[in-house]
Amino acid sequence: MGLLRIRTYPDRVLREQAKDVSNITGNTQRLVNDMIETMYAAPGVGLAAPQVGISENLLVIDVNSREEKKYPLIVLVNPVIMASEGTSEEEEGCLSLPDFKSVIERASKVFVKGFDREGKPVEIEADGLLAVALQHEIDHLRGKLILDKAGPLKRSLYKKRVFKKGRSE
């Protein structure tokens, strides 16, 4: 197992529509293990394969705190949001957008279907932080970032800062 490099904006892979995983192989299992290790090391509560340069529909999530283990570690292959309801606004950050946070409006509840790391069907009904994390990571699989949901001024300022930093390195 090993830590993977987390891709940051404006890396092109973050804007790609990820491809469905058609066959779960030993390579897929290694990728899942490496993504889990990378997520914990970052530290983050979720990580999608495009964030580590792999354009595949695969994500890992662990919204547990050190004190409370409410949910198991989630590995989802080819996840799809089947239904959602309500709205909520929460401040979000992203491992692929260093030093960027924004209040994002999302569905307050979601129903997600996909497959676990063994290829067995999984259904998750979620609210709270887990609903936010699922929507955030599934957005990554669709080439969307929280930057896209931020206000135009905040988005513009962040983009200018990133491009200015990139030119100065």
pLDDT band at residue 2 under the 50/70/90 scheme = confident
State yes or no: is 137 an active-site residue: yes
Q: What are phi and psi of 108, to 5 degrees?
A: -80, -25
DSSP output for 71-140: S--EEEEEEEEEEEE--EEEEEEETTEEEEEEEEEE-SEEEEEEE-TTS-EEEEEEEHHHHHHHHHHHHH
Domain that holds residue 53: 12-168
Q: How many domains does the chain have?
A: 1
Q: Which of 56, 118, 137, 169 is flagged as catalytic?
A: 137
Helix, strand and coil content of the chain, in percent to the nearest 5, comes to 35, 30, 35
pLDDT in tens, 78-109: 999 999 999 999 999 999 999 999 999 999 99
2 domain residue, yes or no: no
- To which residue do tokens 């979620």 refer? 126
Show the CA angle centred on residue 40, arms to residues 61 and 161, nearest 5°: 90
| pTM for this prediction | 0.93
The CATH number given to whatever domain includes residue 53 is 3.90.45.10
pLDDT in tens, 107-156: 999 999 999 999 999 999 999 999 999 999 999 999 999 999 998 999 99
138 domain residue, yes or no: yes
pLDDT of 169 higher than 60:
no
54 domain residue, yes or no: yes
154 domain residue, yes or no: yes
